[in-house]
Amino acid sequence: MTQITLVQGDITKQRVDAVVNAANSSLQGGGGVDGAIHRAGGPEILAECRRLRASHYGKGLGVGQAVVTTAGTLPARYVVHTVGPVYGAEEYERGAELLASCYRESLRLAVESGARTVAVPAVSTGVYRWPMEDAARIALSTVAAVAAEAGGAELDEVRFVLFGAEAYETFAQVADALGLGPAGPREG
Ligand code: AR6
């Protein structure tokens, strides 16, 4: 049974097998979660991103796609980098599908790498400006569908790590509305 949990906290502090990064197509780092992960994980992550750019991803990583690297010095084994859509950059339905794809692809690659516990941020809700409530609905329903498809056999936990009380409350309310049960520990 895959547990979907919510914590308010910093994703770089999570003791999980894989951490998902809200990256950009260049895979060269940036602000927000991306900056925090590269700072906390050290230069090994960027070195591997550069090798990926030089080999399979010469044009960069597409929106809605994901790749795996080492987690460097983070308390995790892998970082799964995904590129969220910029809110309003394309028609709403297309953007929403791309945001759902970020979660599906990230979890697929995490499972493929052997991860059983995965921490995920609220992709696209910072620099990329996706409204939190709508992003929460897409994120939670997509992850719940992935967990249900596999019958809960592949992943033990998908932990949403929300930065700040407001993001946490919004995710908790949406999880409740979707019937996903109690939100779990607030501090993480
Ligand atoms: N732990 C958990 N969540 C965090 C953390 C953290 N340490 N730091 C920020 N957040 P963003 P995006 C929250 O901007 O919108 C970067 O420059 C934040 O409050 O990190 O997908 C990339 O390089 C927000 O709710 O990602 C790209 O260029 C959420 O994480 C671009 O930003 C996502 O915010 C991607 O934009």
Nearest Cα to 159, choosing from 178, 146, 140, 141?
Answer: 140
Cα separation, 139 vs 38, in Å, equals: 23
Helix (H, G, I), strand (E, B) or coil at 24: coil
Q: Is 34 a catalytic residue?
A: yes
Q: Is the CB of 178 under 6 A from ligand 1?
A: no
What DSSP state is assigned to residue 29? Answer: -
pLDDT tens digits, residue range 116-150? 999 999 999 999 999 999 999 999 999 999 998 87
Atom 31 of ligand 1, residue of closest alpha carbon: 127
Q: Which residue puts its alpha carbon closest to atom 24 of ligand 1?
A: 126
Contacts of 84 (CB under 8 A, 6+ apart): 22, 63, 98, 99, 102, 123, 124, 128, 130
Which residue in 10, 17, 34, 156 is the catalytic one?
Answer: 34
Sequence-distant (6+) residues with CB within 8 A of 56 are none
Query: Does the structure show a pLDDT above 70 at 5?
Result: yes
pLDDT at residue 184, as a whole number: 59
DSSP designation for 156:
S
Cα-to-centroid distance, 163 and ligand 1 (Å): 9
Atom of ligand 1 nearest to the CA of 123: 21
- Candidates 34, 94, 28, 18; CA nearest to 63 is 94
Q: Among 12, 19, 20, 33, which is best to mutate for testing ligand 1, by the most ligand atoms less than 8 A from CB?
A: 33
pLDDT in tens, 42-80: 999 999 999 999 999 999 999 999 999 999 999 999 999
Percentage, residues of the chain above pLDDT 90: 90
What's the CA-to-centroid distance between 2 and ligand 1, angstroms? 25
**Rounded to a whole number, what is the largest CA-CA distance in the chain?**
44
Does the pTM exceed 0.85? yes
- CA nearest ligand 1 atom 23, residue: 30
Each residue's pLDDT tens digit, 148-164: 887 678 899 999 999 99
Residue 1: per-residue pLDDT: 85
* Residue 166 pLDDT class (50, 70, 90 cuts): very high
For the chain, which residues make up each domain, given as ranges? 3-177
Beta strand 18-23 with 66-70: parallel, antiparallel or unpaired? unpaired
* Contacts (Cβ under 8 Å, ≥6 apart) of 78: 17, 18, 19, 68, 69, 70, 71, 110, 113, 115
The CATH code of domain 3-177 reads 3.40.220.10
